Amino acid sequence: MTESKEPILRVENICKILGGKKILDSVSFSLQRGELKVLIGPSGAGKSTLLQCINFLIPPDKGQVWLEGTEIRSRRKRDLYAFRQQVGMIFQDFNLFDHLNALENVAIALRKVKKMNRQAARDRAVAELDRVGLGDKLGLFPAELSGGQKQRVSIARALAMDPKIMLLDEPTSALDPELIGEVLSVIRDLARGGMTMILATHQIGFTRTLADEVLFMENGIIIERGLPAELLSPNAGTRSRDFCSRLDELYAEDE
Amino acid sequence: MLNTFSVILEALPYLLKGAVVTSGIVIGAMGIGLVLGVHMAVGQVYGNRAFRWLVNLYVWFFRGVPVLVLLFLFYFGLFTLAGLNLSAFAASILVLGMTTAAYQSQIFRGAILSLPRGQLQAARALGMSDTKAIISIILPQALRFSIPGWSNEYSIILKDSALAFVLGTSEIMARSHFVASRTYQELPLYITAGCLYFILTWLGVRALLKLEAKVRIPGYSH
Ligand SMILES: Nc1ncnc2c1ncn2[C@@H]1O[C@H](COP(=O)(O)OP(=O)(O)O)[C@@H](O)[C@H]1O
Ligand SMILES: [Mg+2]
């Protein structure tokens, strides 16, 4: 490495076998501060498994994760919980806490994990919900919100913890087409604000304009990586390009 | 006829005291069942093999043995063996409490399993320990969904509490029996006893329905 800057996150040789099948096969990559890496690949490639191995929601069979140069010892509960606080995660199906309104969804971890008092947690939650454009929906419960609003609450919930990086697992895949834009625009603002992110998505247009690097994954292996212009340009002749043009066709047929 | 009425009227304060004792047994037993049952359910869903096995054994034992046998077994046998010198009232609460704990644990377990798995994942991803996530995220929802089953269990334990009579607890049934055997007015007294049980059932079930409505999650249809 010629670069003197150390990556904020380094993931090395992650392996995972589930149900006798190799789901992740020695996956490695690193993230620079402020970078947006996009993970693409067909369904079943192992994108979700990889993202969940990074914060040990799924314990990897092998491999290491470093945050700012420190290896995470995931067996130590304290270290694990402290690490997870610094890694925001966004799920495809939101996973909001159904019994809490938008405000409480964001505030609960501030109170229970960060030990903030009720008022401070509330103020912070209001600020984060404002930031994702939901300042007027504080009292609504998940069942009263649209998919796009739910995903924005979940982004606010993650941001309130002041994460150093964010893992986003197909944040728009469960949304009706007309709601995708509002969520992508929040993610775009985050990227422009310098948030370090790794995003699994099928949104190729978004990837082309915003990704710093694209990782193309298939059968648990990152088979191609590079700048979006290199991998996704019409004549690139890459697997990634092939995959994306098929996605484009799919969307064209949709319309 | 007049005699019947006056017997009931005269006995009523005495029987109502029995209703207070019955309520004490039921509230105590349901409370014990709630505390034990929640722990057993959490252990059964999230615990290790040994704990799950232990809970299973417990549940099968209390489901498999009649309450009457349990009352005798504990009051005249196991409690004495354990060096406990309990009143019939306390023993009734404990035995019914342990029994309903077995059933309640299965109500809570079902409710926990019915929750979408992702919420626990989300809580963990925020840095919560499993204990915190269970207390702040899982149980508040699981307990809400358990209220209908719990209400059903309440009405069963209320009626099972009449069995405490055999230990000599002076609850509704014991007192009705006592007065009936003195006055030979069996029919009216046992009708009164039945009415008291019915009223207690009705009050409890209604209160739990109110509670259910009060804690309902807005917009949520389960
Ligand atoms: N618990 C599991 N047991 C067995 N196979 C699993 C399990 N979880 C995921 N898989 C398999 O792992 C593969 C990768 O899944 P996933 O990471 O969800 O892919 P992606 O997010 O790229 O669609 C799929 O083939 C899936 O069937
Ligand atoms: Mg996935």
Q: Measured from the CB, is residue A137 less than 6 Å from ligand 1?
A: no
Ligand in closest contact with the CA of A45: 1
What is the number of the ligand 1 atom nearest to the C-alpha of A46? 17
Q: Cα separation of A164 and B56, whole Å?
A: 44
- Helix, strand, or coil (residue B215): coil
Query: B131: nearest CA in chain A?
Result: A112
Interface of A with B (CB under 8 A): 52, 55, 57, 77, 81-82, 84-85, 87-89, 91, 93-99, 101, 108-109, 112-113, 140-144, 154, 157-158, 161
| A144: nearest CB among B121, B136, B218 | B218
Two structure tokens written together for A182: 């509002």
Domains and their CATH numbers in chain A: 9-254 (3.40.50.300)
**Residue showing tokens 């709630």:** B34
List, in order, residues 6 or more apart from A184 with CB less than 8 Å away: A172, A203, A206
Q: What is the CATH number of domain B2-214?
A: 1.10.3720.10
Contacts of B218 in chain A (CB under 8 A): 101, 140-141, 143-144
Distances (CA, A) of B108 to A32, A97, B34, B77, B100: 46, 18, 9, 31, 12
Amino acid A246: pLDDT: 79
List the 127-146 stretch of B: residues with Cβ below 8 A of A: 127-129, 132, 136-137, 140-141, 144
Instruction: State pTM to two decimals.
Output: 0.91
ipTM given for this complex: 0.93
Q: Identify the band that residue B219 occupies on the pLDDT scale cut at 50, 70 and 90.
A: confident
Amino acid A1: pLDDT: 45
Q: Cα separation of B89 and A179, whole Å?
A: 62
pLDDT in tens, B106-148: 999 999 999 998 999 999 999 999 999 999 999 999 999 999 9
Q: Measured from the CB, is residue A229 less than 6 Å from ligand 1?
A: no
Amino acid B105: pLDDT: 97
| A109: nearest CB among B121, B126, B218 | B126
CA–centroid distance, A33 to ligand 2, in Å, is 25
Query: How does DSSP assign chain A, residue by residue?
Result: ----SPPSEEEEEEEEEETTEEEEEEEEEEE-TT-EEEEE--TTSSHHHHHHHHTTSS--SEEEEEETTEE--TTSHHHHHHHHHTEEEE-TT----TTS-HHHHHHHHHHHTS---HHHHHHHHHHHHHHTT-TT-TT--GGGS-HHHHHHHHHHHHHTT--SEEEEESTTTTS-HHHHHHHHHHHHHHHHTT-EEEEE---HHHHHHH-SEEEEEETTEEEEEE-HHHHHSTT---HHHHHHHHHHHHHHHH-
Q: Compute chain B's Rg from CA coordinates.
A: 21
pLDDT in tens, chain A (255 residues): 445 578 999 999 999 999 999 999 999 999 999 999 999 999 999 999 999 999 999 999 999 999 999 999 999 999 999 999 999 999 999 999 999 999 999 999 999 999 999 999 999 999 999 999 999 999 999 999 999 999 999 999 999 999 999 999 999 999 999 999 999 999 999 999 999 999 999 998 899 899 999 999 999 999 999 998 888 877 777 888 888 877 777 665 443
Within 10 Å of residue A250's Cβ, how many Cβ atoms? Answer: 10
| A112: nearest CB among B125, B136, B221 | B136
Give me the residues paired with residue A31 across strands: A9
List, in order, residues 6 or more apart from B127 with CB less than 8 Å away: A81, A82, A84, A85, A109, A113, A161
Amino acid A253: pLDDT: 46
Exposure string of A9-44, with b = 16+ CB inside 10 Å and e = fewer, is bbbeebbbeeeeeebbeebebebeeebbbbbbbeee
DSSP summary character for residue B216: P
Amino acid A3: pLDDT: 52
**Does the pLDDT value for residue B70 go beyond 60?**
yes
Q: Cα separation of A1 and B14, whole Å?
A: 90
Amino acid A6: pLDDT: 86
Contacts of A85 in chain B (CB under 8 A): 126-127
* Average pLDDT over every residue of B73-90: 89
Q: In chain B, where are the structural domains located? A: 2-214
Q: Measured from the CB, is residue A43 less than 6 Å from ligand 1?
A: yes
